[in-house]
Chains A and B, each alone.
Chain A
Amino acid sequence: MSKIEKYDVLNIRKDFPTLGLQVHDKNLVYFDNAATTHKPLSVIEKTDEYYRSMNSNVHRGVHALSQLASKEYENVREKVRKFINAGSEAEIIFTAGTTAGINLIASSFGRKFIKEGDEILITEMEHHSNIVPWQMLCEQTGAVLKVIPINDNGEISIDEFENLLTPKTKLVSVVHISNALGTINPVKQIITISHEHGIPVLVDAAQSIQHVKIDVKELDCDFLVFSGHKLYGPTGTGVLYGKEKILNIMPPYQGGGDMITSVTFAKTTYNSLPYKFEAGTPNIAGVIALGSAVDYVNSIGIEAIHAYESELSRYALAELQKIDKLRLIGTAKERISVFSFVLENIHPHDIGTILDFEGIAIRTGHHCAHPVMQHFKIPATARLSLAMYNTKDEIDYFVRSIKKIFEVFL
């Protein structure tokens, strides 16, 4: 039976070698998927296959291996295009990850189109990677960074967003799903309204690409960025989608090989899209294996994954709310399976250490979102974040393990 007809989570788990690991003599329960997901065997094997049977550089050699590697590399561009429903392969730029994608836009788009006094609009729930590149740009250009506030549920309001749009707003850059709160932002609405004012929108899809169907045509976003390693692919890979007409008028980001058509000391002509933005030898093995990650997700179906995770998420939420003294940070109506919490006055690090000894991997800390912590007046949270291979049994085990924390501290 195919996995699409029936979501067989136990069968899916068999595809991920690391899920069988033991930690402190306990079965690993991996709830740190917002940091990075585990990799299916097909991704691991593809990386190996590249180095064993086609290792060579891309776009450079007439020899057989280079042609094979180039073909595989470019096939992934088409796979990714199809996965997010982009119009053309020219709109798919491979990067080192979400952070690299945002920095590319801040440097290239920013330097050309953002001037002194212009405004860039983000939300209060951004990851540092969607804050700091803009602050750096503002420092260089004299532009101003404006922030859409969040309420105590961890949601933004469209009214407040609209109030912050001014004739000086040159870019809106928003996170699709918050890594610290699990909130799903109304990006479609934000894009529609921004476009009514002629303002382009960048969507940070680092926490959404692995959970919900992304259709860039339907969203009509101008830019969208994500990381391969959160989509069950290798670290050091990422994708920047940009509308062709905008990418075409943006200057190159980094200079070097592969991004040029001709170089003389008098003048250099830049290569066409997408190569204009891919200077130097890329992460070839990573990109090729990212293709296997996309294939893997497609073999189950992102809609099926979303349906399963939504049910798991409802279950987890209900179970967490039953725990006395547990306070959820982020209680948005529209949310996914990322849950930040605090336990009375027990510090998240102590929670993390004790759960680690139960074999449970969670993230503790500020989740690279200091402003979110400042909003809720807490130094840190403990966070569990689920993926397609997590189970209700694991959540039950987590709830039982929380009791051990109270055993130590109360």
Chain B
Amino acid sequence: MINSELKELYQQVILDHNRNPKNFGKIENHNHDAEGFNPLCGDHVHVYLHLDGDIITNISFEGGGCAISKSSTSLMTAMLKGKTIKEAEHIFERFHDMVTGKTAEDDDFEDLDKLAVFQGVREFPVRVKCATLAWHTVIAALKDEQAPVSTE
């Protein structure tokens, strides 16, 4: 039998996206990109974006990591397609608050849609960086930062 906290962490959606990530690969017409590393784990992600004005028209990623980091990247790309930069930043803020447990107890994260499956991460402080690596990287890509992102 699997412990309930573990079940909460490794939800089916997370396991599915780990196995079959969405938007995996490099989009040819990207005009922004950034790399992120999680040096302690060896996680590595490269995010590619196509921005039309301030709208993310296309987004993809390459790289590898644990189930949490890979599925988080996959779900993030699905969520951000068609969003504006401002919307993306706001979603990340909400996501970050959720996985670090900084939100009100009755917050159901309905606005985060599928990303709400990462609620379980807040019980695992060492895994927060797994869930947020992709987000830090996408923010860096939007700002065209040259240095790779590191979570340490």
What is A's interface to B at a CB cutoff of 8 Å?
24, 346-350, 353-354, 357, 364-366, 373, 378-380, 404, 407-409
Are B15 and A373 in contact (CB-based, < 8 A)?
no
Are B66 and A408 in contact (CB-based, < 8 A)?
no
Within the complex, which residue of A347, A353, A364, A408 is in contact with B124, where a contact is CB–CB below 8 Å? A353
* A/B interface sample: 21 pairs, CB < 8 A: A24-B3, A346-B67, A347-B64, A347-B67, A348-B41, A349-B41, A349-B127, A349-B130, A350-B66, A350-B68, A353-B6, A353-B127, A354-B6, A365-B41, A366-B40, A378-B42, A379-B42, A379-B44, A407-B2, A408-B6, A409-B67
Contacts of B42 in A (CB 8 A): 365-366, 373, 378-380
Q: Which residue of A lies closest to B65 (CB)?
A: A347
Additional pairs, 11, CB under 8 Å, beyond known A349-B68, A409-B67: A24-B3, A347-B64, A348-B66, A349-B130, A350-B66, A353-B9, A357-B3, A365-B40, A379-B43, A408-B2, A408-B10
Complex: how many Å from CA A386 to CA B41?
22
Contacts of B127 in A (CB 8 A): 349, 353
Complex: how many Å from CA A224 to CA B1?
48
Main secondary structure on B side of the interface with A: mixed
Complex: how many Å from CA A88 to CA B64?
52
The CB with the most chain B CB atoms within 10 A, among A349, A379, A380, is that of: A349
Contacts of B10 in A (CB 8 A): 350, 408
B93 at the interface (CB under 8 A from A): no
Complex: how many Å from CA A281 to CA B29?
62
Contacts of A24 in B (CB 8 A): 3
B5 at the interface (CB under 8 A from A): yes
What bracket does the count of chain B residues touching chain A fall in?
Answer: 20 to 34
Within 8 A of A (CB), among B60-107: 64-68, 70
CB distance from B59 to the nearest CB of A (A): 23
Complex: how many Å from CA A162 to CA B20?
49
Contacts of B44 in A (CB 8 A): 379
Contacts of A380 in B (CB 8 A): 41-42
Contacts of B68 in A (CB 8 A): 349-350
CB distance from A356 to the nearest CB of B (A): 9
Complex: how many Å from CA A158 to CA B42?
31
Are A347 and B66 in contact (CB-based, < 8 A)?
yes
Q: Which residue of B lies closest to A25 (CB)?
A: B3
User: Top 6 A-B pairs ranked by shortest CB distance?
Assistant: A379-B42, A347-B66, A349-B66, A380-B42, A357-B3, A350-B67
Q: Which residue of A lies closest to B5 (CB)?
A: A357
CB distance from A8 to the nearest CB of B (A): 34
CB distance from A34 to the nearest CB of B (A): 16
Contacts of B41 in A (CB 8 A): 347-349, 364-365, 379-380
Contacts of A379 in B (CB 8 A): 41-44, 64-65
Complex: how many Å from CA A366 to CA B42?
7
Q: Mark B15-35, 1 if CB is under 8 A from A, else 0.
A: 100100000000000000000
Q: Which residue of A lies closest to B3 (CB)?
A: A357
Complex: how many Å from CA A357 to CA B3?
7
Contacts of A378 in B (CB 8 A): 42
Contacts of B5 in A (CB 8 A): 357
The CB with the most chain B CB atoms within 10 A, among A346, A347, A380, is that of: A347
Within the complex, which residue of B15, B64, B65 is in contact with A408, where a contact is CB–CB below 8 Å? B15
CB distance from A386 to the nearest CB of B (A): 23
CB distance from B41 to the nearest CB of A (A): 6
Complex: how many Å from CA A350 to CA B43?
12
Q: Which residue of B lies closest to A354 (CB)?
A: B6
Complex: how many Å from CA A409 to CA B127?
17
Contacts of B40 in A (CB 8 A): 365-366
Complex: how many Å from CA A357 to CA B65?
21
CB distance from B12 to the nearest CB of A (A): 10
Contacts of B3 in A (CB 8 A): 24, 357
Complex: how many Å from CA A24 to CA B70?
26
Contacts of A366 in B (CB 8 A): 40, 42
Contacts of A346 in B (CB 8 A): 67
